Chains A and B, each alone.
Chain A
Amino acid sequence: MAETALFSSAALARVEELFTRRGWTPFAFQRAAWAAYAEGRSGLIHAPTGMGKTQAAWLGPVLEWLSAHPAATQRNAAPPLSVLWITPLRALAKDTTAALSATCAALDLPWTVELRTGDTSSHVKQRQRKRPPTALVTTPESLSLLLSYSDTERQLRHLRCVIVDEWHELLGSKRGTQTELALARLRQWQPNLRTWGLSATLGNLEQALAVLVGVGDRAQGMGNREDAAQPPISHSFYPIPNSQYSSPDPQSPLLIAGDATKEILIETLIPSDMERFPWAGHLGVKLLPQVVERVLAARSTLVFTNTRAQTELWFQALIDYAVTEAPELIGAIGLHHGSLEPKLRQEVEARLADGRLRCVVCTSSLDLGVDFAPVEQVMQVGSPKGVARLLQRAGRSGHQPGAVSKVFCVPTHAFELVEFAAARDAMGRGEIEARPPLAKPLDVLVQHLVTVALGSGFAANGQREWDMNGEATAPNDTAPNDNEALPGQALFDEVRTTYAYGDLTAQEWRWALDFVTFGGAALKGYREYARVQERNGQFRVLSPQIARRHRMSIGAITSDGMLNVKFQNGGALGAIEESFAARLKPGDTFIFAGRLLEFRRIKEMTVQVRKATKSKGVVPRWQGGRMPLSSYLADAVRLRLATAAAGIYDTPEMQAVQPILAIQQRWSHIPAAGELLIEAVKTREGHHLFLYPLAGYQVHEGLASLLAYRLSRLAPRTISAFATDYGCELLSPTPLPVGDEASWRQILSPDNLLEDILLCLNAAEMARRQFRDIARVAGLIFTGYPGSQKSTRQLQASSSVIYDAFVTYDPDNLLLEQARREVLERQLDFGQLRRTLEGMAAAALVLASPRRLTPLAFPLWASRLRSQISSKSWSDRVARMVMQLEKAAG
């Protein structure tokens, strides 16, 4: 045990004994993580769920403490707060707390492990502040909230380690950036703090590590962004030679891979009678009997879907089916998604854990999870959308070390068969999606500045200047100068140690500080404005009302225009989107939380419902339910099609879909590698153009608008544009002015892309919508205190109204700029759009004019139709079309 020599042998023996008692042996990666922790390093442990990541991170600090306290037992007094465990989901926090506590008890440690999230009652929180536990399990929001109290620094003076669980879930989101800022604060207080992250498999693990550990102290010239982006030591995902677990540099953070022995199998349920022309969005309940058969064969099953709406639909379909066909499942099927009331979710989790539920239909709310939740098998309904996602979901089964993780894929339309085959290909090649972190979102910075001002406060004048002159001078408002200290220089330096704000400029810093002190340039000199004020050389929040409001809104990053759904007698069910609720009329029925509900009215931000007497209802749609196909998976699909074009059908999925692809080949063409297929079809609706770049929904949406704009510029006309993950469709009542290759090359040119995109999309309107999120994070929207919404109504304004006020009276506000940037980068994925167009410019064009909609075109056509007309007439019309096409296919 040379690598863990820094821990005492007695401590190691105690842990070994625990493993033996449980019938385990520590994995090499677990030992490696403990050793690295003993050396004082930070690191990121990545492994599929269920591999023992939790113990790899948790036992480091435990071993260290045990080495110093060899005789300790549970009868000793609990040590002070030493470990913070950050988890992205409240739902996870409870399980994690239980798991960590259990380990401590089994080791006979006097450690206490407690939970602190938004659900924790205020008296528990107060007790925790008086007598903190040894380890605190919390969320990024609750951690930020802790930073807003002035005694937190003292509370955390014994802190040795922060462990961030499911780091991949936070990375790439504003919550991740919020975590980065909080970690920078904690490191400022405890320079020797070790940060450990746990992550699922990602394509950018090295970057994920750099984001987690920060980029060092810039003010002293130690480390910079370039170095940090590539940590000196890293391990590839599969496989890891154990000898490489140590690094020549004793300080550098480590990337540690879990053992790769866990096998992942993807098996697809093949429809017995392949519908010839299935379409996107079809429920796919034809496979219900096969799904139920699998469910009956296992002790416990998770059925993952892609959207909350799909979860509700599948739950209904399963219980309806169970009544007649599988009575043993009655009462044994559960429903779990992020919009349900926490109590309902917890109930489902508990009933799954103790075996009362045999099947839970869920969304990514159950993607993550504590390693010990017993699930025997996993199913994925519909497209996996991404390789990492399918890997993660598959990992929820086969938790016993050495067991095989198996995921049964349930296609809802024919081309998902191709996607499943492609996902297996990509997984085999180790092509896993990256989650790029966000670059300096100013709304999160603004929130953090208020949080810090509210907590410990921060020095108003630059420390350097103070040191040089022996006294503080007023901050200078003129152009930034490198030698001159900024207002709040010390915090500026601290913020710049994060990866996100590593290149924050002095100008952006000044703006953010102005915004929280004056309210921004437009409010400069407006004396009544007081969010953050300078007092005795410190930036502080002085108003108790502002303090209270800020604390209330710290956690608001995740909620998004949601209205609570309650029975009239008060029973709470969860939340639906405002936009959906606004379309409901009294008496309308909808399906939610697995129940059929009748809408009564909206009152005080609450949707009042009662049990419906009708038997049918619509299912709410949640924004953001639409997840685009990842570019890795899209690439893999393109390769699969190219293989099919070459006549190779070598997996069960491809064999099943072969008859459909044969028709595609006969009527039009299957795009081979390096080809772009464009189909022109005339129907009663008009003249359609279908393009299949296979670049994912987001890119196709931008592309469709761009092409429609450029075509209508050639000759004014009405063109409807529509996109899916596979391609886009343009529809016009008159023939479109493209026929030959030269005209297409012109239309598809990557030149003037940005100008054209901004002109053709309603970029202003998109920015206005994007601003909603920004305004909430930056504290411009206040959603009210729980239970007392009325008292704050006079301070409520919609983000749209605030956006208009900013555009009119403060057009240079950087938050507006951020909204525009987020639209381009996050909604449109402009970079990917450009790359796609460049790829198309290099591709060989295949122009086909099939006589009718081809199998590739049909899903596009059908989903467009669905977005236009009500669901009932939609399915009728699609069914009619299917019959016609099947007749034609003969």
Chain B
Amino acid sequence: MSIGVDTVKTLNWAGEDLVLYSQRALYWPRMQTLFITDPHWGKGETFRQSGIPIPPGGTLSDLARLTDLLVTTKAQRLIVLGDFFHTEHSRAPQILDALHAWRAAHRTLEIVLVRGNHDRHAGAPPAALDITGVAAGYAASPFFCHHEPVDDAAEKRSGYILAGHLHPVFTLRDRDGSQVRLPCFHFAKRQAILPAFASFSGGYGVTAAKGDRVFVISQAFVVEVT
């Protein structure tokens, strides 16, 4: 296993230079576009309203992380690859207030939401947030933006796909048998799966095929595992 430690990682994919941030985001400098997926805003609210006492603070700190990313990258466009709210119960006043305040601080940012499975039940973001909802397959040439990864081989051949949904994680094993699961970016030949933006989220183990590249992230680094 070769490891190089960095807080960001740059790679060329589909002929474009991309920057992988340890804050769970992908930046495309040429188009000044930041990609995130699966923010699941207000997930803790859903739990709390159902009597599961998850302490609050997750959504606010995730929003602060997003602000950091926007400030660092100076992105003009944000593309969210689905699952904006966790459920309809997530649209609690304190969450909406936080989102509106955040939006007010980034007035000029163009925001696109590729609708995901959670968005179908949780509903679209409030109009005042000024977010353009689009269907899967949204083109940001040479990329096609999806929520759920694409299985169809023909569709995969037609372009380069960015997707979320899976919350990919990769398990690192130490020699003493201990292991740690970390969120990761999973770049296959024609499709890249981004890590879930929500910090209060689990993950689905990545099975990397030959030639795939996997970048695990921790609070302060992006590391490629091969």
Contacts and interface: CB of A to CB of B under 8 A. Distances in A.
A615 interface: no
B55 interface: yes
Interface stretch (A14-22, A88-96, A145-153, A800-808): A800-808
Nearest to B174: A762
Interface stretch (A478-486, A543-551, A819-827): A543-551
A800 B53 contact: no
Interface stretch (B1-9, B66-74, B197-205): B197-205
Contact of A795 (B47, B180, B200): B47
B92 A720 contact: no
B15 interface: no
A311 B62 CA distance: 48
A530 B118 CA distance: 24
Contact of B92 (A528, A543, A546, A867): A528
Interface in A510-554: 515, 518-520, 522-523, 526, 528-531, 543, 545-546, 549
Contact of B178 (A582, A762, A782, A808): A762
Given A720-B175, A805-B44, A809-B56, A546 B202 contact: no
B50 interface: yes
Given A520-B55, A522-B55, A522-B56, A528 B200 contact: no
Interface in A797-817: 797-798, 800-802, 804-806, 808-810, 813
B184 to A, nearest CB: 15
Contact of B202 (A795, A798, A810): A798
A132 interface: no
A530 B89 CA distance: 14
Interface string B177-199: 11011000000000000000001
Nearest to A550: B51
Contacts of B44: 805
A748 interface: no
A790 B156 CA distance: 28
A886 interface: no
Contacts of B37: none
A806 B55 contact: yes
Contact of A519 (B48, B58, B201): B48
Contacts of B54: 519, 780, 797, 802, 805
Contacts of A520: 53, 55
Contacts of B56: 522-523, 526, 809
B149 to A, nearest CB: 16
B10 interface: no
Contacts of B52: 531, 779-780, 782, 795
A446 to B, nearest CB: 10
Interface string A173-207: 00000000000000000000000000000000000
A781 B45 CA distance: 15
B87 interface: yes
A765 interface: yes
Nearest to A582: B205
A794 B87 contact: yes
Given A797-B202, A805-B200, A867-B177, A546 B50 contact: yes
B49 interface: yes
B23 interface: no
Contacts of B51: 529-531, 543, 545-546, 549, 779
B207 interface: yes
Contacts of A801: 200-202
6 contacts: A518-B53, A523-B56, A526-B48, A795-B47, A797-B43, A798-B202
